[in-house]
Structure 1
Amino acid sequence: MTTSENAPGKGPEELDDAVRALLLLMPRMVGRAKKIPVPEALRSFPLAPRHLSLLACLLFDGPMTVNELAARLQVAPTTASLLVGELNRMGILERREDETDRRRRIIAVAAEQEPSITAWLAPGAAAWRRALAPLTPDQRRMFVDTLLAYEAAVDEERQG
């Protein structure tokens, strides 16, 4: 599978070698992520990847409003609200009144669920920190931008 879309000064073989390595690596990474056991306290809940992203945001950034969550997750506020509603009904999240503006609701991980969720998501965060720590800020940005470009390209390929 050769392509003419190469970086300046790089041959098609180098690009194909990188593509080949990533085609082998990505399924292994996904497979390992899927094997991370769900904590016993959370096994009865129908959690999906979309829920994990939301929970990770709340763990890393602390309690926030639905609109703030939507912005971080890059989804519409209605989508974030639906996810929050699902997790709230499961007892995983709690909504409370904002002390400074009683019209607003603050979303947080329920205190009784926080230890399990933290234990579940912390190893992945620690692994990313170890992998990214040796990189410069510019290199980290390039890495994240490359993954975002890959995600967009996969979507484009699927849409035809």
Structure 2
Amino acid sequence: MLATKTKLTIEAAKTVAAICETEAKKRGLRLVIAIVDDGGHLVLLHRDDDAQVGSVEIATLKARTAVLFRRHTRQFQDVVEGDGRLALLCIPNGIPLDGGVLLKVGDEIIGAIGVSGASDEADGDIGRIGAATLAGTTSPHAAVTRA
């Protein structure tokens, strides 16, 4: 049997990135925003003028970490900082820093956003604001496809 799933579209990614960009500008931040689909593949990359170039890889890695491990990257950071679980620093294709946030429609993970360029806390806040734009909605920003 074929399953029906909700797919992240470029339109949805643009909407999320625009919300994040607006909030970052309000705070005077220059950020990189990476949005990946549910397989961890890059859908959209936004780099503000004068954002540090190193944040391109970090934002992308934060998004991929969130979607591949099916949790916000803040959870990894909390375990490293709180429990001293330094082994989490070695997870392949993972980064334990806030700023990787799942994109969900209902309970279904459709992708993730990674934000980098400010403090971990600010990166996470911006990512959560962007993710909230998709929470609980499937239209018009996400398309349903057969997989």
Q: TM-score, normalised by structure 1?
A: 0.33
Structure with higher Rg: it is: 1
Which structure: greater strand fraction? 2
Which structure: greater helix fraction? 1
Q: TM-score, normalised by structure 2?
A: 0.35
